[in-house]
Amino acid sequence: MTQVEVIEAVLGGNDEVAAQLRERFDAAGVRTLDIIGSPGSGKTALLEATLPALPSALRVGVLVGDLATRRDADRIARVASQVVQINTAGGCHLEAHHVEKGLAALDLAALDLLVIENVGNLICPVGWDLGQHAKVGVFSVAEGDDKPGKHPPLVLAADALVLTKSDLLPYVPFDRAFFEQDIRQMNPSVPILEVSALKGDLAPWLTWLEAFVAG
């Protein structure tokens, strides 16, 4: 019972900060996205390919969550001017207070879209509100077609699911129908967006993202 009370207290405090963040985002007119996926699923590569493909007038900032190093932030900084690395020093997910601190290094007034690349993990980040307007789950062909069925919370919470590394489909065992069936049994209406960052095949994702930014 004590453990449950502690967890509820922590989540309650997080949700309070997240609500304040959402108010800030709304007041600034900044649409905010939380991207969740396992290590190596292609989250950073997706952003590297996506940002240059967006309309030049769209102003984008990125918060990058990792346990250690700023390697992913350095990669994204090549294609985005406002990038902040957040190191959790062992934490398996970002929390609202991490985002709050990261915003101190960003100019919200100069942004239309804020992308939060969460720490590589399919489980822990799902239940934490960061003030975002949408959650995007990332699965990769390389991880196998049974990943969604093993991670229902992400599938249920996602506003969109991106299947990355589609260029590997001819070379690895991956049943698209099985993958989609697992998802549809849990979340019948969530968009499933198949992409290849390597080949620049991003059309479904870009269409969804531009509609999201438009509100």
Domain boundaries defined on the chain? 2-214
| pLDDT attached to residue 10 | 55
Of 194, 124, 189, residue with least CA distance to 158: 189
How many residues comprise the chain? 215
Pairing of strands 31-37, 60-66: unpaired
> How many other CB atoms sit within 10 Å of the CB of residue 42?
25
Q: How far apart are CA 138 and CA 135, in angstroms?
A: 10
Buried/exposed code over 110-136 (b: 16+ C-beta within 10 A; e: otherwise): ebbbbbbbbbbbbeebbebbbbbbebb
Contact 10, 96 (CB under 8 A): no
CA atoms within 13 A on the CB side of 14: 18
Tokens representing residue 141 in the block: 């062909």
Reply yes or no on whether the pLDDT at 104 is more than 90. Answer: yes
Reply yes or no on whether the pLDDT at 9 is more than 80. Answer: no
Amino acid found at 79? V
| pLDDT attached to residue 215 | 87
| pLDDT attached to residue 67 | 85
Under the banding of pLDDT at 50, 70 and 90, the label for residue 11 is: low
In degrees rounded to 5, what are phi and psi of residue 7? -60, -45
Average pLDDT in the 114-125 region? 95
Domain 2-214: CATH superfamily is: P-loop containing nucleotide triphosphate hydrolases (3.40.50.300)
Contact 63, 117 (CB under 8 A): yes
pLDDT (tens digit per residue) in 48-100: 999 999 999 999 999 999 988 999 999 999 999 899 999 988 789 999 999 99
Reply yes or no on whether the pLDDT at 171 is more than 80. Answer: yes
Average pLDDT in the 138-148 region? 98
Reply yes or no on whether the pLDDT at 126 is more than 70. Answer: yes
Q: Which residue has the higher pLDDT, 67 or 159?
A: 159
Q: How far apart are CA 192 and CA 186, in angstroms?
A: 13
- Report CA torsion sign: 5, 11, 14, 20: negative
Under the banding of pLDDT at 50, 70 and 90, the label for residue 173 is: very high
Could you tell me the pTM of the whole model? 0.93
